[in-house]
Amino acid sequence: MPRLVMKFGGTSVANVDRIRNVAAHVAREVAAGYEVAVVVSAMSGKTNELVAWVKDADALYAETEYDAVVASGEQVTSGLLAIALNKAGIRARSWQGWQIPIHTSDAHGSARIEGIDPTNLDAGFARGEVAVIAGFQGVHAETGRIATLGRGGSDTSAVAIAAAIGAERCDIYTDVDGVYTTDPRVVPKAKRMERVTFEEMLEMASLGAKVLQVRSVELAMIHRVPTTVRSSFDPPDAARPGTLICDEDQIVEQQTITGIAFSKDEAQITLRSVKDSPGIAAAIFGPLADANINVDMIIQTVSGDTGSGGTATTDMTFTVPAADYQRARAVLDAQREIIRFGQIEGATDVVKVSAIGVGMRSHAGVAAKAFRALAEKGINIRAITTSEIKFSVLIDAAYTELAVRTLHSLYGLDQA
Amino acid sequence: MPRLVMKFGGTSVANVDRIRNVAAHVAREVAAGYEVAVVVSAMSGKTNELVAWVKDADALYAETEYDAVVASGEQVTSGLLAIALNKAGIRARSWQGWQIPIHTSDAHGSARIEGIDPTNLDAGFARGEVAVIAGFQGVHAETGRIATLGRGGSDTSAVAIAAAIGAERCDIYTDVDGVYTTDPRVVPKAKRMERVTFEEMLEMASLGAKVLQVRSVELAMIHRVPTTVRSSFDPPDAARPGTLICDEDQIVEQQTITGIAFSKDEAQITLRSVKDSPGIAAAIFGPLADANINVDMIIQTVSGDTGSGGTATTDMTFTVPAADYQRARAVLDAQREIIRFGQIEGATDVVKVSAIGVGMRSHAGVAAKAFRALAEKGINIRAITTSEIKFSVLIDAAYTELAVRTLHSLYGLDQA
């Protein structure tokens, strides 16, 4: 029999009524002939409650104990859904990560899945049982301790399980009905996509679209697991298919640009009058990397000025996650004697707007068109990065909506 | 180093502040030189919340899934207490039942502990760690599923762990400061006992005193684990010792009667004009046993009447748990053709009052004195049972307070 993984997030299992609704969605797929594994998150709000208790007990908590506490949220949902399925006449049992087992690294709080043994799940399917799996967690083999995958980790659990059991598809049920060309709250004309490639979805998730955890898209891409994003709020007997994330060759009409993403989680730092000597980039970015701060966009402008020693100086502009802004400045200040910059400036009221599409690979001038359109609207571009299938611009946060709407129209994404 | 088990119930870990208080109690014992295992219940109210969700999902839930859901409550507390202990500078880690492992039977919802492997806990003690153990649960070895011990099961977990690790003592911290000669809400003159024997405590717990789970006292008696009941609401630096449950030879001044217990959880059934033929007791009590209904007090009165066939008839009176009253009547009605009784009568407004004391073994006439005292107060005794160290009378519920106070005074238990 073909297999299917269905994943339900926190709002989809927020209370017992919603869990009954999930059971009805599962019943539909069982009736359609699938062997089903369901992956569940904690009831919405529960993880936040548990995290608050942990932080109250000690702001500098041990990650191992954080994991023991917060993993309980998914445990509760898995048992309740198994009960609701049994009530609906469907054989089901709950599985905790350690029972399957799902082996993880020992990076507690943000562990990586290292392997899933499908033997126990296979035996359950052979008994005609739906497997209801607590998402977001596994067990570290050597210590036997519960490890969680980090916030949103249930998406990753679902895709990894789909790969391990050879599922035909992984359906991620959530409170939206698919992936949109951009955030519909910003652009009311945003369209739901029928299909999007793994590569595009990965860029969109990385660049600020919050619909899926980045790691889950990576895994889906690596293991070629067709994955959908669809709504658990559709009636179970009239559920729409949502958005399919799939291989490029499964998409007939490929557009140049498929989506516009934006992220407000950016801060800009500029170092003025940096002595432009060999190794200067390493002197700046080495210490930031050591402090676990991810540097994204980097622009180096040769200013043409010469310093007192006669060497040329340059301005260095780059972005860091907004949460790391103050820490990054402190790291750089501590290195001032080594880097020898004139001044440090920064801005947190910036936003990164990105356009994504595999069609960029075969079309020249896609980005140039955008720069022109933004300039015409009077939007100043502070920095640019590009890759094979996306480009990003850093602009003042005040222009976010204007920029996103401009690009959305420019690439023909507005709903008819 | 000597070892100590400390158990904290739901009100003792009701919130993070109370958990910090528990950490302070643990710190005191660590400073006193003990290797400590702490057993915790769920935060008060949590188990009820989880059980309500389970019943909402399906009143006829699978016990295996009930266990998966409700065991999460203790998991949360164990992690939070480990964090609070670390914060207080004490090395600690949480242990779930399956991690130790604590092996149980597969009677999910009311499993029995079958064995505790102390290897992992020993290693933790060797590392200088306090073991913080989720109470109320273990794992069934063959299925690998979480099994819970039934309500109040954390007491049993604590005593079983104390036996397994060779603890010097098991301290049960609760919201009262010890075991009283009777319920202080009924008899304000009730005294806290300094010491009580295992046998007496077992009878008291079985006969209605709710301070400890019966199974935990059984285990303490079998394994001779000195166990105390004491208050977590005492200041950690001025904690009183509570009541010690111990061997008889550790109690110097043994009283005849040490405590008065009562249970309202009783119902009386009387079968009138039962044909008094051989095997009649089996015909009545066999079907009740098959239906898992515990029959307690039994009185058979030969009435002297003869039925139409010339055989003597008798009245049979016995008690069953109040919760099983309707079911017991239905079972008997279904057997009417076989038992051939004239009438069935019943009463639920009855109470069983018991006096317990190992001194009864060496003193004659202890119970007779009570019957006289109750008669003088005009209290009608419906049934009597006695054993080596206790006697019980079944009376009208309206006389509960009067009877308990009368016996409490009679045996010299009133506080000076």
Alpha helices in A58-211 (DSSP H): 63-70, 72-87, 119-126, 153-165, 198-206
- B53 touching A (Cβ < 8 Å): yes
> Are B60 and A87 a contacting pair at CB < 8 A?
yes
Which residue segments constitute the domains of chain B, with CATH numbers given? 3-248 (3.40.1160.10), 254-416 (3.30.2130.10)
For A87, name the nearest residue in chain B, comparing CA atoms only: B58
B190: three-class secondary structure by DSSP: coil
Q: Which B residues in the span 343-372 are in contact with A, Cβ-Cβ below 8 Å? A: none
Size of the A and B interface in Cβ pairs below 8 Å: 117
Residue A50 has its nearest CB partner, among B76, B82, B87, at B76
- A83 touching B (Cβ < 8 Å): yes
Give yes or no for residue A305 having a pLDDT over 60: no
R_g of chain A, CA atoms, integer Å = 24
pTM of the model: 0.87
Q: What is the DSSP string of A334-395?
A: HTHHHH--SEEEEEEEEEEEEEE-GGGGT-TTHHHHHHHHHHHTTPPP-EEEEETTEEEEEE
Whole-number pLDDT of residue A306: 56
Tokens of B27: 């710190």
For A59, name the nearest residue in chain B, comparing CA atoms only: B87
Q: How confident is the model at residue A385 (pLDDT cuts 50, 70, 90)?
A: confident
Q: What share of chain A is helix, strand, coil (3-state, %, to 5)?
A: 40, 30, 35
- B48 touching A (Cβ < 8 Å): no
> Are A57 and B99 a contacting pair at CB < 8 A?
no
Number of H helices, E strands in chain A: 13, 18
- A156 touching B (Cβ < 8 Å): no
Whole-number pLDDT of residue B409: 95
> Are B58 and A83 a contacting pair at CB < 8 A?
yes
Give yes or no for residue A112 having a pLDDT over 90: yes
Whole-number pLDDT of residue A313: 83
Phi, psi angles (nearest 5°) of residue B379: -95, 120
> Are B68 and A20 a contacting pair at CB < 8 A?
no
Residue B68 has its nearest CB partner, among A53, A58, A94, at A94
A274: three-class secondary structure by DSSP: strand
- Using a CB-CB cut-off of 8 Å, the residues of chain B touching A75 are 68-69, 71-72, 75
- Using a CB-CB cut-off of 8 Å, the residues of chain B touching A67 are 79
> Are A98 and B93 a contacting pair at CB < 8 A?
no
- B51 touching A (Cβ < 8 Å): no
Would you give the DSSP letter of residue A10? G
pLDDT per residue as tens, chain B (416 positions): 999 999 999 999 999 999 999 999 999 999 999 999 999 999 999 999 999 999 999 999 999 999 999 999 999 999 999 999 999 999 999 999 999 999 999 999 999 999 999 999 999 999 999 999 999 999 999 999 999 998 779 999 999 999 999 999 999 999 999 999 999 999 999 999 999 999 999 999 988 888 898 999 999 999 999 999 999 999 999 999 999 999 999 987 778 899 999 999 999 999 998 887 778 888 899 999 998 898 988 888 766 655 555 667 888 899 999 999 999 999 999 988 888 888 999 999 999 999 999 988 888 888 999 999 999 999 999 988 888 899 999 999 999 999 999 999 999 999 77
Q: How confident is the model at residue A21 (pLDDT cuts 50, 70, 90)?
A: very high
> Are A66 and B79 a contacting pair at CB < 8 A?
yes
What pLDDT digit, counting tens, does each position of A34-52 carry?
999 999 999 999 999 999 9
> Are A82 and B65 a contacting pair at CB < 8 A?
yes
Whole-number pLDDT of residue B309: 57
> Are B79 and A87 a contacting pair at CB < 8 A?
no
Residue A98 has its nearest CB partner, among B62, B76, B98, at B98
H/E stretch holding A19 reads: helix A16-31
Whole-number pLDDT of residue A309: 57
Give yes or no for residue A308 having a pLDDT over 60: no
A116: three-class secondary structure by DSSP: strand
Whole-number pLDDT of residue A298: 87
Closest among B34, B118, B45 to B76, alpha carbons compared: B45
Dihedral of alpha carbons B46, B52, B56, B59, sign: positive
> Are A76 and B72 a contacting pair at CB < 8 A?
yes
| Dist CA B364 CA A367 (whole Å) | 103
Closest among A97, A163, A90 to A134, alpha carbons compared: A97
Would you give the DSSP letter of residue B180? B
Give yes or no for residue A327 having a pLDDT over 90: yes
A221: three-class secondary structure by DSSP: helix
